[in-house]
């Protein structure tokens, strides 16, 4: 903000303050900004970098707990908009449902020049929070949206809202750190007599309350640094400072309140009797498994039924955001969301005498940790207690639990992942295992070896003396690479649409090409790898320079990355996906040419990944082989330079050239 504007705002503030203090009764116009907003007009910005879109000058969050467990929450916030991207701070979306009811909402904009503007409840419009999936038939989290005018650079934007909360669990999370730097932020808690609280600091050193009485406690933080987003970083929730609060009424004397077992017991009660089977469910299980002899075959058949025959549709009203529908309703309607699919699958497994358990999870790996006992889950999967005789190499997502034995984790929501495996988004993630007999607790899901996610390419190609490359490619995909293609092609019926993933891949490798044939196998048979077979022709693949023919041995597929090629140093760890890709390309050389020079072999091996390649001549055929492996889900910030060098090594190898020299006329 320039000096003239800041001076103007300070003058306005002084004038308003004089009016408020004068005995003549001079007051603000009705609906004008209150004193706690005006007091920030002359406040200095917190420390920020040039990329900051806005800063928070003041934030306040007050919780008043009633004896019956209801909570009144009041939130106040004042922003100074610094850049055009900060205009988003002038839009406020609030959930208004059976769990959260809006009492009042006010918003103000204080321009650098001109009169303050006010909006309120009457200006709210109905909307939906961002990210609502198209498959959601109805969202329990319908929102009301308030747009505060003049949220432009140089202006102050502020709001206050009050809600009545009817929480399913007596917990709260104070998220005091986010993208915007914060000058000053407050959190206070008023409790009825006899109530207790537990404070858990996450990603921040423990802070003592600035004020405390038997019924009131308050924390104040100043100069909270803003976060910055980076590609492939851990989720903000895993990095930002937070304060988790667990509340305990007088009639619950347990010392271990607000822990994972409490959340598990709550969910167990919520899902009680939901898995009870109807007679049609029992009959369907008998029908599906009548010809199956092994326990594994029976489980696979039931899993396939729930994946394919139960459509994903979410109808979430009130507690329906957490509570599954009954197995009977899910089966009869043939639709449900993640927790519904788990419920029906669990009910059907029980008919085979197989126990299973709900697993609550957040699909952003790292968002949940041992230190964060709160309802921060957004997905439900299942843990199946495997029979002793169910042992097969196909069962890879297995955890040996000390209390429950061999547990197989599975996500029946995703129809492209076979029973026995889990997607990369779940591997190494924390999930709350809900078990009434062994106690609910947080577990770390299995991490599959890198070769569970693999692309293997084999190409047999011919190069002619004019530089044209043509031939056949076979590409076999397993794990996440296969899931991605199956998901992209799920609803396609035209051959021209089905080959688009191949065309996109080739476009990354050649400026122009001709795809002469392409077929796909295993698209609907998820237990098999997905296989592409295609033929291509690339003109001017080799460059002619006098008697020389210059060719790139690495024909297609790129594994290099510019992830860390940034001006600013990396701030956070790098999140990766495990994989092990192998390429074998054979290029039959044109008559009258011999190899004059080949790229040197490459061997790069780190704790997080490995890359090996070599180009050799066998007879009259140039053979390029390489292996690319990511061995770790996360690369610590301390190893960022090593990861950068790893990708640079790959970049150099992928562009290395072989030189052929004419030997005949």
Measured CA to CA, the distance from residue 447 to residue 399 in angstroms comes to: 10
pLDDT for 253: 64
Q: For residues 326 and 331, what is the distance between their CA atoms, to the nearest angstrom?
A: 9
| pTM of this structure | 0.86
Is domain 3-248 given the CATH code 3.30.365.10 in the classification? no
pLDDT in tens, 126-153: 875 444 443 343 344 468 999 999 999 9
pLDDT confidence tier of residue 221, bands split at 50, 70 and 90:
very high
Highest mean predicted confidence (pLDDT) among 14-23, 67-76, 292-301 = 67-76
Residue 14: the pLDDT is 38
| pLDDT at res. 23 | 29
Contact status, residue 139 vs residue 50, Cβ threshold 8 Å: no
Is the pLDDT assigned to residue 259 strictly greater than 90? no
pLDDT of residue 197 exceeding 50: yes
Q: What is the pLDDT, as a whole number, of residue 378? A: 87
Instruction: Give the mean pLDDT of 392-402.
Output: 94
Top mean-pLDDT range of 138-142, 240-244, 651-655: 651-655
Per-residue pLDDT at 401:
95
Give residue 368's pLDDT band: very low, low, confident or very high (50, 70, 90): confident
Decide: residue 467, CB within 10 A, 0-12 exposed, 13-18 middle, 19+ buried: middle
Q: Give the whole-number percent of the chain exceeding pLDDT 90.
A: 75
* Confidence band, pLDDT 50/70/90 cuts, at residue 19: very low
By the 8 A CB rule, do 555 and 658 touch? no
Taking each continuous run of H as one helix and of E as one strand, the counts in the chain are 11, 38
Residue 319 banded pLDDT, cuts 50, 70, 90:
low
> What is the pLDDT at residue 9?
37
Query: What is the average per-residue pLDDT within 180-208?
Result: 94
Cβ-based neighbours of 317, under 8 Å, separated by 6 or more:
97, 98, 138, 140
Three-state SS annotation for 165-201:
ECCCCCEEEECCCCCCCEEEEEEEEECCCCCEEEEEE
Lowest mean pLDDT across 33-42, 222-231, 498-507:
498-507
Looking at residue 376, its pLDDT comes to 77
Using an 8 Å Cβ cutoff, are 650 and 560 in contact? yes
91-113 average pLDDT score: 90
Choose among 499, 544, 551: nearest CA to 520: 499
Structure tokens of 502?
């191949």
Q: How confident is the model at residue 257 (pLDDT cuts 50, 70, 90)?
A: low
Query: For residue 44, is pLDDT > 80?
Result: yes
CA distance 164 to 618: 76
- Say which DSSP state 130 is in: T
Per-residue pLDDT reduced to its tens digit, 384-393 = 999 988 889 9
Place of tokens 């309140």: 257
Mean pLDDT, rounded, of the chain: 89
- pLDDT at res. 142: 64
Mean pLDDT of 4-30: 35
Burial of 376 from C-beta contacts in 10 A (0-12 / 13-18 / 19+): middle
Residue range 225-246: average pLDDT?
93
Angle, helices 338-350/295-309, rounded to nearest 10 degrees:
150
Which of the two residues, 604 and 251, has the higher pLDDT score?
A: 604
Measure Cα distances from 539 to 284, 357, 508 in Å. Answer: 57, 57, 15
Position 15 scores a pLDDT of 34
Pairing between β-strand 242-248 and β-strand 171-174 as defined by DSSP bridges? antiparallel
Token pair listed for 277:
């089977």
Could you tell me the pLDDT band of residue 4, with boundaries at 50, 70 and 90?
Answer: very low
pLDDT band per the 50, 70, 90 thresholds, residue 18: very low
- Extract the runs of DSSP E, i.e. beta strands, from 374-421: 379-385, 398-401, 405-410
Residue 506 DSSP label: H
Confidence of residue 258 (pLDDT cuts 50, 70, 90): low
Q: How many CA within 13 A on the CB side of residue 434?
A: 24
Rounded to whole angstroms, the Cα distance separating 140 from 97 reads: 7
CB atoms near residue 612 (< 10 Å): 16
CA dihedral 187, 192, 198, 201 (to 10 degrees): 0
Average pLDDT for 299-324: 83
Reported confidence tier of residue 63, pLDDT bands at 50, 70, 90: very high
The yes-or-no verdict on residue 1 having pLDDT over 50 is no
For helices 338-350 and 279-289, give the axis angle rounded to 10 degrees.
70
pLDDT per position as a tens digit, 435-482:
988 889 999 999 999 999 999 999 999 999 999 999 999 999 999 999
Class of the domain covering 489-513+539-662: mainly beta
Residue 665 is predicted with a pLDDT of 66
SS3 263: helix
Domain 263-448 -> CATH class: alpha beta
CA dihedral 444, 449, 454, 459 (to 10 degrees): 170
- What confidence score (pLDDT) does residue 114 get? 85
Question: Which residues have a Cβ under 8 Å from the Cβ of 567 and sit 6 or more positions away?
Answer: none
- Residue 308 pLDDT grade (very low, low, confident, very high; cuts 50, 70, 90): very high
Those residues with Cβ within 8 angstroms of residue 619's Cβ, 6 or more apart along the chain or in another chain: none
> Tell me, what's the pLDDT at 20?
33
pLDDT band with cut points at 50, 70 and 90 for residue 318: low
Contact 602, 649 (CB under 8 A): yes
Confidence of residue 261 (pLDDT cuts 50, 70, 90): confident
Q: How many CB atoms lie within 10 A of CB 173?
A: 16
Distance CA 570, CA 575 (A): 13
Please give the angle made by the CA atoms of 66, 37 and 154, to the nearest 5 degrees. 135
Give residue 587's pLDDT: 97
The residues spanned by each domain of the chain are 3-248, 263-448, 489-513+539-662
């Amino acid at each position: 903000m320039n000096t003239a504007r800041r001076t103007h705002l300070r003058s306005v503030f002084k004038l308003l303050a004089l009016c408020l203090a004068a005995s003549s009764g001079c007051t603000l116009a009705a609906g004008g900004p209150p004193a706690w907003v005006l007091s920030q007009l002359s406040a200095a910005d917190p420390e920020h970098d040039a990329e900051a879109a806005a800063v928070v000058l003041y934030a306040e969050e007050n919780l008043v707990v009633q004896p019956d467990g209801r909570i009144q929450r009041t939130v106040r916030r004042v922003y100074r908009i610094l850049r055009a991207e900060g205009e988003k701070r002038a839009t406020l979306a609030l959930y208004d449902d059976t769990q959260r009811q809006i009492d009042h909402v006010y918003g103000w904009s204080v321009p650098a020049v001109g009169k303050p503007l006010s909006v309120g409840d009457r200006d709210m419009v109905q909307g939906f929070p961002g990210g609502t999936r198209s498959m959601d038939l109805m969202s329990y989290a319908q929102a009301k949206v308030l747009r505060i005018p003049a949220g432009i650079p140089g202006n102050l934007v502020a709001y206050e809202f009050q809600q009545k909360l009817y929480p399913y669990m007596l917990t709260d999370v104070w998220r005091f750190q986010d993208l915007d730097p914060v000058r000053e932020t407050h959190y206070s808690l008023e409790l009825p007599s006899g109530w207790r609280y537990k404070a858990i600091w996450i990603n921040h050193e423990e802070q003592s309350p600035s004020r405390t009485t038997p019924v009131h406690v308050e924390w104040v933080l100043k100069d909270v640094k803003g976060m910055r987003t980076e590609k492939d970083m851990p989720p903000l929730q895993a990095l930002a400072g937070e304060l988790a609060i667990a509340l305990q009424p007088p009639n619950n004397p347990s010392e271990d309140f607000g822990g994972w077992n409490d959340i598990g017991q709550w969910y167990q009660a919520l899902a009680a009797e939901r898995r009870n089977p109807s007679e049609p469910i029992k009959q369907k299980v008998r029908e599906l498994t009548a010809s199956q002899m092994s326990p594994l075959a029976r489980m696979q058949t039931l899993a396939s039924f729930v994946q394919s025959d139960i459509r994903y549709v979410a109808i979430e009203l009130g507690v329906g955001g957490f509570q599954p529908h009954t197995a009977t309703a899910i089966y009869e309607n043939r639709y449900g969301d993640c927790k519904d699919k788990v419920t029906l699958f669990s009910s059907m497994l029980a008919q085979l005498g197989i126990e299973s358990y709900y697993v609550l999870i957040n699909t952003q790996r790292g968002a949940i940790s041992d230190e964060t006992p709160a309802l921060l889950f957004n997905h439900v999967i299942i843990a199946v207690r495997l029979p002793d005789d169910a042992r097969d190499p196909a069962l890879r997502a297995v955890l040996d639990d000390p209390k429950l034995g061999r547990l197989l984790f599975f996500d029946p929501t995703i129809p492209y992942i076979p029973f026995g495996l889990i997607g990369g988004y779940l591997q190494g993630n924390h999930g709350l295992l809900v078990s009434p007999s062994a106690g609910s607790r947080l577990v770390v899901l299995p991490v599959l070896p890198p070769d569970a996610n693999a692309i293997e390419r084999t190409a047999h190609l011919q190069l002619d003396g004019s530089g044209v490359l043509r031939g056949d490619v076979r590409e076999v995909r397993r794990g996440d690479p296969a899931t991605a293609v199956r998901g992209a092609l799920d609803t396609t019926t035209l051959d021209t649409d089905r080959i688009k993933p191949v065309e996109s891949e080739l476009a990354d490798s050649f400026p122009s090409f001709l795809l002469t044939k392409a077929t796909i196998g295993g698209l609907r048979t998820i237990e098999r790898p997905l296989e592409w077979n295609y033929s291509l022709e690339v003109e001017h693949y080799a460059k002619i320079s006098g008697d020389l023919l210059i060719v790139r041995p690495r024909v297609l597929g790129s594994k290099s990355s510019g992830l860390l090629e940034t001006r600013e140093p990396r701030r956070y760890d790098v999140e990766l996906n495990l994989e092990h890709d192998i390429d074998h390309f054979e290029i039959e050389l044109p008559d009258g040419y011999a190899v004059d020079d080949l790229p040197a072999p490459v061997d790069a091996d780190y704790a997080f990944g490995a890359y090996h390649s070599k180009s050799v001549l066998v007879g009259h055929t140039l053979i390029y082989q390489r292996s690319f492996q990511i061995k770790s889900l996360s690369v610590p910030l301390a190893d960022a330079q090593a990861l950068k060098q790893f990708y640079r090594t790959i970049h150099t190898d992928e562009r290395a050239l072989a030189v052929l020299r004419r030997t005949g006329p």
